[in-house]
Structure 1
Amino acid sequence: MAQIKLGELLIKANVLQESQLKAALAEQSKWGGKLGEILVRMSLVSEDILVRALSKQLNIPAVNLDAVQVLPPHVRSKIPAQTARDFAVLPLQLRDDGKTLVVAVADPLNVRHLDELRAITKCRIVPNVAGRTSIARAYARLYEENAELAEADTNFKVMDAHGRTVIKNMRDGSSEQSSAPPRPSGGGAPAPAPAPARPSAAGVPSVRPAASGNPSELLKTVEEVQRKEVAALKAMVELLIEKGVFSREEYLAKVKR
């Protein structure tokens, strides 16, 4: 039986219209990338709906990582932290006397990643599909001590288009603007409150997150910054293509490497 296409599956489920699918396919043709991730990025479907559709399309179990509260150390240690983060993968369970490892993955069709996981873990890999942001939340909660990001990540920074730090510390939610002017020395009136963020030259506004230590809220802030930076990058690439610096085919060939 032939595998039904993801777009057709979502249309049959009445969660996507044909015009929306055409818009997403045009975006994919122009910039490349996974159709499912493009649909989520364009806010045409939710990540939860995408996961359920992929599960049905690929006949792979879906896993609700928000319900996973404990990750045994011997399971967690099967995949190094950096690999788990880079591959958007999370080990879930060891079976068959440690010979089989069940993992949550955002891209279960990435054969190269699955092959590397087999080589690293020395296990047969059984993939379950989960959303990329769901895996990121679970990673922060389960892979790191105290349900937060690791000590190695406490100096993690998100920069805006001016090179200014938007988020300095993912653990306590502190933020800074690296280009902020120094306070005047001596007495006098207190310094005025900073002006609202202005759009940068690339059209991307500086984002000042709320001072919250909630990892999910910080993750949303990071995603918003990334969406704005991607939009600016696309506009820049489109301009370079129009100016004849390179062709769209050359660009797509480069990003597919």
Structure 2
Amino acid sequence: MSVVIPVSADWLTLREDADAGSRSRALAVKAGRMLRPPVVVHDLGTGTGSMVRWSAPLLPGPQTWVLHDWNDALLQHAAAAAAHDRDGRAVAVRTRAGELGLLQGADLAGASLVTASALLDVLSADEVGAVVAACIAAGAPALFALSVTGRVTLDPIDPGDGVFEAAFNDHQRRLVEDRHLLGPDAATVVADLFRAAGWSVRVADSPWRLEPGDAALITEWLDGWLAAAVAQRPALREWAAEYARMRMAQLAADRLRVVVHHVDLLAWPS
């Protein structure tokens, strides 16, 4: 079983501020109270390292981060960015290239905490099962941020909103080769797996709340949202083009607001 998740460094950089403003600080602080120094954090699907930069200042130190990703170029980008713990000490960073679908408990040996951001919803049931099993085997609390729920709220509302949302969600749950992606069901599946193992789980809402000042992110998000909907239902192509023109006009007039709903999840041994 293997998983390779294509991702753009430009997209990760564009969304970093929105991610940082949306993740649950309360869950991160709660996770921090469970840790005893020295702290070793394994970050899964680290991308450009935004989870390190956001959460390291909320956790005790000294800290060592082990960054996991299949993309070595992204790993090097993430490793080069500075991060500090809550006492201002620089964190140490190691990188580990590999496919998350092959993750085992031994890969997380010695972990104080396991983290991930915007990862679970692009994995299959088998892959999230492997991630959860590895966390349980390591006995380390897990903080998984920004899993999409499938809900999107746009203001002003439009009859197309629900149509494109449903098509997008079907696309997120699609079959890719032999991988049936979980999409918006991922956080619920992961919570159930941890609870079935006797772990405690806490979930918090972590929505993006995008205003006209977030025009670049709204534009990129809307383009991707509609492209996925059309890929799933090609008959929507002409409607999607008309819908995009309408939404871009509203954005240019400072009239468009978008809420993209996510949840964060913290699980720990009971």
Which band: TM-score by shorter chain?
under 0.3
Superposition TM-score, scaled by structure 2 size: 0.26
- Determine which structure has the larger strand proportion and give its number: 2
Larger radius of gyration: 1
Superposition TM-score, scaled by structure 1 size: 0.27
Structure with the greater relative contact order (CA < 8 A, sep ≥ 6): 1 or 2? 2
